[in-house]
Structure 1
Amino acid sequence: MAKELSVEDAEKKARELLDRRIASVRTLVTARQRLSELREQVADAEREDVRLYNAALSDGWSPEELRRLGLPEPEKKARTRRRAAAKKPAVDTPAVDHREPVPEPALN
């Protein structure tokens, strides 16, 4: 004979499943927040590195001298370009020729 499942037991099992799912999301959110903080710290450190490298150049060091000392030029970040959105023509608008009309030759 099959064991009867009470409403309370079913609710308890469902709650346990939900609690595990919530815990995994909580852990993921915490890790993502930490990752975001670390990326911000790295970006700050990179800006400071560039500032100090430029200060060394201003103090008379050449890029070659710094390279020989094991201090190469800071890596340049690749700039990302945003593409302009393509303009869509208005619906049911015929194409218009904006060129000036060529005069027809006069018949004599």
Structure 2
Amino acid sequence: MATIDIEQTRNQAKALLNSRIDSVTELVKTRQRITDLREQLAEAEREDKRAYVRATKDGWSPEELKKLGLESDAAGRRRKSANRASATAPTEDVSHSAQ
């Protein structure tokens, strides 16, 4: 029977674990990046809302802003959410078996 080299086995095991640690480290980094970007997006949306309100207070009507391609972002989000919800809504099975 062949002898087992403990040091070689430990080194192989460490190499396998390091590979697993590297992959989970990369996953944590990407998840943190997503979190950071979501926070940046939320802040940008708040700034956009303030700027829109400021523009309307300065005399721009919502209709004028819309003609300029600057409609209220909240209206755009509502429309997109409604479209997304209808696209992902489960369909009801309307076939019934006679009993």
Normalised by the length of structure 1, the TM-score is 0.66
**Structure 1 residue 60 corresponds to structure 2 residue 59:** yes
- Root-mean-square deviation over aligned CA pairs: 1.6
Give the drift of 1:4.
3.2
Give the match for residue 96 of structure 2: none
Give the drift of 1:5.
2.5
Matches of 1:64 and 1:4, distance apart in 2:
83
Higher helix share: 2
In the alignment, structure 2 segments of 5+ residues that lack a partner are 79-99
Give the match for residue 48 of structure 2: 49
Give the match for residue 22 of structure 2: 23
Normalised by the length of structure 2, the TM-score is 0.71
Matches of 1:21 and 1:12, distance apart in 2:
14
Using CA pairs under 8 Å that are at least 6 residues apart, name the structure with larger relative contact order, 1 or 2. Answer: 2
How many matched pairs? 77
Letter in 2 for 1:68: K
Structure of larger gyration radius: 1
Letter in 1 for 2:66: R
Matches of 2:46 and 2:20, distance apart in 1:
39
Deviation digits for residues 22-75 of structure 1, max 9, x if unmatched?
001111111111111111100000000000000001011110000001101112
1:60 partner SS: coil
**Structure 1 residue 37 corresponds to structure 2 residue 41:** no
